[in-house]
Amino acid sequence: MQDGYGQFCPVALASELLAQRWMPLVVRELCVGATRFNEIRRGIPRIRPSLLKQRLDELERAGVLQRVPDAKQEGYGYQLTEAGRELRAVVGAIGQWGQRWARDIRDDDLDPGWLVWAMHRRLDTQAMPPGRTVIALTFPDAAATERHFWLVCERQQVDVCLKPPGFEPDLTVTTSVRVLAEIWRGLRPLSAELRGGRVRVEGAVALKRAFPRWLLLSAYAPIERPRVRG
Partner DNA sequence: CGGTATCCCCCGCGATACTG
Partner DNA sequence: CAGTATCGCGGGGGATACCG
Residues of the shown chain interacting with DNA in the complex, contacts defined by CB under 7 A? 1-3, 20-22, 36-39, 46-51, 53-54, 70, 73, 75-76
Q: Which stretch binds a copy of itself (CB under 8 A): 81-89, 125-133, 150-158, 200-208?
A: 81-89
Is residue 167 close enough to count as binding a copy of itself by CB under 8 A? no
Q: Shortest Cβ distance from residue 156 to DNA (Å)?
A: 19
Under the criterion CB under 8 A, does residue 109 sit at the interface with a copy of itself? yes
Burial class (CB in 10 A: 0-12, 13-18, 19+), 2: exposed
Work out the angle at residue 75's Cα, subtended by the Cα atoms of residues 71 and 79, and round it to the nearest 5 degrees.
65
68 binds a copy of itself per the rule CB under 8 A:
no
| Region label for 44, one of left (φ > 0), alpha (ψ between -120 and 50) or beta (otherwise) | beta
Choose between 20 and 138: whose C-beta lies nearer to DNA.
Answer: 20
Binding track over 202-221 against a copy of itself, x by CB under 8 A:
----------------x-x-
Q: 37-76 burial, b if ≥16 CB within 10 A, otherwise e?
A: beebbebbeebeeeebeebbebbeeeebbeeeeeeeeeee
Choose from a copy of itself, DNA, none: what does 222 bind? Cβ within 5-8 Å by kind. Answer: none
Query: Interface with a copy of itself includes 20 (CB under 8 A)?
Result: yes
